[in-house]
Amino acid sequence: MPSLKIAFASLLVLAGFAIAAPALAQSLSPLEKSGMTPSDKKAFRLQVGNPYDHKMTFVLVPLMPDYQTPIDGVVVKPAKLTMAPGFTRPVIVTFEIDPTKKERTIALCVMPAALDGPILPRVCGRYTGRMAGAGG
């Protein structure tokens, strides 16, 4: 009976590893940031990382803060990148701010370029730019 308990416990541990393995996901840092700008454009320097054990290509997709709706007036450079396992690379996201609103929040999602299926791993962050007022 004790060997049955050990076998069952081992099976649970192995199942836990099998479930945890797909939890790896590309990284995006920082996931949230805000900052002031003296103009109607704001830029952030972000880091994208590849935690997988093989080379991966990722696409960076700018969206509305709802993380679903495509957005205009946002440039991501590079918008697609290929990285070796364990590496990170900087990306620059730049967006326009409506001067009448003086603030804009966007979302940016990083996802693998070559995966198919109903569930795609993605990591998203929110970034807010604020125009500096007169005198400061």
Q: Tell me, yes or no, whether 82 lies in a domain.
A: yes
Q: What is the pTM of this model?
A: 0.76
In a domain, 10, yes or no: no
Domain count of the fold of the chain: 1
Per-residue pLDDT of the chain (136 residues; tens, 9 = 90+): 454 444 444 433 333 433 333 445 678 999 999 999 999 999 999 999 999 899 999 999 999 999 999 999 999 999 999 999 999 999 999 999 999 999 999 999 999 987 766 677 889 999 999 999 744 4
For residue 76, give its domain range: 24-131
9 domain residue, yes or no? no
Rg, the chain, Cα only? 20
The CATH code of the domain that includes 113 is 2.60.40.10
**pLDDT score, position 25:** 64
Query: Does residue 80 lie within any of the structural domains?
Result: yes
Residue 136 in any domain: the answer is no
Q: What is the pLDDT of residue 6?
A: 43
Within-domain flag for 2: no
- pLDDT of the residue at 24: 57
Exposed e or buried b per residue across 69-104, where buried means at least 16 C-beta atoms within 10 angstroms of its C-beta: eebeebebeeeebebeeeeeeebebebbbeeeeeeb
Q: What's the rounded Cα separation, in Å, for the pair 9 and 49?
A: 34
Give a yes or no: residue 76 inside a domain: yes
- Does some domain include residue 17? no
